[in-house]
Amino acid sequence: MKFVHLADVHFDSPFVNLSHKANLGEMRRLDQRKAFKKAISYIKENNIPVLFISGDLYEHQYIKQSTIQYINQQFQEIPETQIFISPGNHDPFLKNSYYAKFNWNDNVHIFNSKFEKISLKEADIYGYGFDDFYCTDCKIENVQIERPEKLNIAVIHGTIDGGEIEEKQYNSIPKKILQDKNFDYVAMGHIHKPSYKDEENQKIVYPGSCISLGFDELGKHGMIVGDISKEAIKLEFIQLDDKEFIEQELDVSNLSSQEELIENINKNIYPETQLVKIILVGTRHFEIDVFKIYQFIESSQIIKLKDKTKPFYDLEKLQNEMTLKGMFAKEMLEKLQDVNEEEKEILEKTIEVAFEALQ
């Protein structure tokens, strides 16, 4: 059976922490539509019979009815494809949600907070959906596969082996329980990094987010295309997001002014497919005003600056001064002689804070 597996589209995400550029959020929301339409076109052109969407299709807090209508119009483009949606923590099946009150196309099935089985000719589809913004137990252990001779597929939003307290709030499921159920494929959502070939014949799969939502989601983003039988599983990742988030470090240690820093930033040319974050590192010999630098960046692909530099202090020179600064510098030099890397980092931060206080 052939299928497409999508997750974490996050339609109408506000992208509030992405950039200082006012229109970038709107651009990325258009990119969401473009990527989703690309997936639908692939399904249509290749006659894919089943589409799994494993949660966080949209942002409940921000979603507009016009966007829901757009999504449903895309579903209408593939009337022969059965669509199974497992609501997640960003798009739970609430009484006032569009999952509950919107008139979805006939080929759409939306799971709720009790595991449900839908029988197709080739496969039995088991699904579960959030009915709140948190879920601590979907009771996967109670699911019993009724016909093991058929293909059995689960569609779930959640975290595999979530150990931290926060992860446990988002439907943490022990991997061993899922494996023991002997599903032929588990279409997961929630983790925004693709996971489909981390082990041989991997059956518990995350496609990752449909498009990158920011610089914590580097790399390529898209969907999984699968073809499975009882004997074999074949998975392919197809990129949907035309853009890729890139981080680059720029060492300012040998630069003498903010003007020189701006010149160095503007030396680089980036392709239109990249959205770039410049991380400033090293020891600085001048004050850095990130917001002022933004005004002089020539490349529209550079959308974020992060200052991780440390101020330069010549302790060797300062220790000779008959001042409070000099006494402090002399003491710090002595302490720095015999410390490990972790202690050195703490001392350097102490020096930075102390000298700022002594200005």
pLDDT per residue as tens digits for the range 146-190: 999 999 999 999 999 987 767 778 999 999 999 999 999 999 999
Q: How many domains does the chain have?
A: 2
Contacts of 241 (CB under 8 A, 6+ apart): 31, 35, 210, 211, 212, 220, 221, 222
Tell me what pLDDT residue 275 has.
92
305, 308, 312, 315: CA torsion to nearest 10: 180
Q: What is the CATH number of the domain that holds 30?
A: 3.60.21.10
pLDDT at 257 over 80: yes
Tell me what pLDDT residue 346 has.
81
Q: What percent of the chain has pLDDT over 70?
A: 96
228 and 95 in a single domain? The answer is yes
Q: Report the C-alpha gap between 169 and 20 in whole angstroms.
A: 32
158 and 300 in a single domain? The answer is no
The mean-pLDDT minimum among 249-253, 330-334, 355-359 falls in 355-359
pLDDT at 104 over 90: yes
154 and 28 in a single domain? The answer is yes
Q: What are phi and psi of 93, to 5 degrees?
A: -80, 80
- Residues 279-302 have pLDDT tens digits of 999 988 888 999 999 999 999 899
Query: For the chain, what is the total number of helices (H) and then of strands (E)?
Result: 10, 18
Mean pLDDT in residue range 60-86? 97
163 and 100 in a single domain? The answer is yes
Boundary of a domain, candidates 239, 265, 288 = 239
Boundary of a domain, candidates 215, 239, 263 = 239
**Percent helix / strand / coil, the chain, rounded to 5:** 30, 25, 45
201 and 187 in a single domain? The answer is yes
Q: What percent of the chain has pLDDT over 90?
A: 73
Q: Report the C-alpha gap between 172 and 158 in whole angstroms.
A: 6
Sorting pLDDT into bands at 50, 70 and 90, what band is 22? low
219 and 251 in a single domain? The answer is no
Tell me what pLDDT residue 349 has.
74
186 and 315 in a single domain? The answer is no
Q: Which domain holds residue 255?
A: 244-357
Sorting pLDDT into bands at 50, 70 and 90, what band is 15? confident
Structure tokens at 176: 């061993």
225 and 144 in a single domain? The answer is yes
pLDDT at 19 over 70: no
Q: How many CB atoms lie within 10 A of CB 177?
A: 12
Tell me what pLDDT residue 209 has.
97
pLDDT at 322 over 80: yes
pTM as predicted: 0.84
Structure tokens at 343: 């202690």
44 and 173 in a single domain? The answer is yes
Boundary of a domain, candidates 209, 239, 269 = 239
Which residue, 108, 102, 8, 5, is CA-closest to 58?
8
Structure tokens at 286: 């001048």
pLDDT at 95 over 70: yes
Tell me what pLDDT residue 356 has.
66
Tell me what pLDDT residue 166 has.
75
Tell me what pLDDT residue 348 has.
75
Tell me what pLDDT residue 358 has.
64
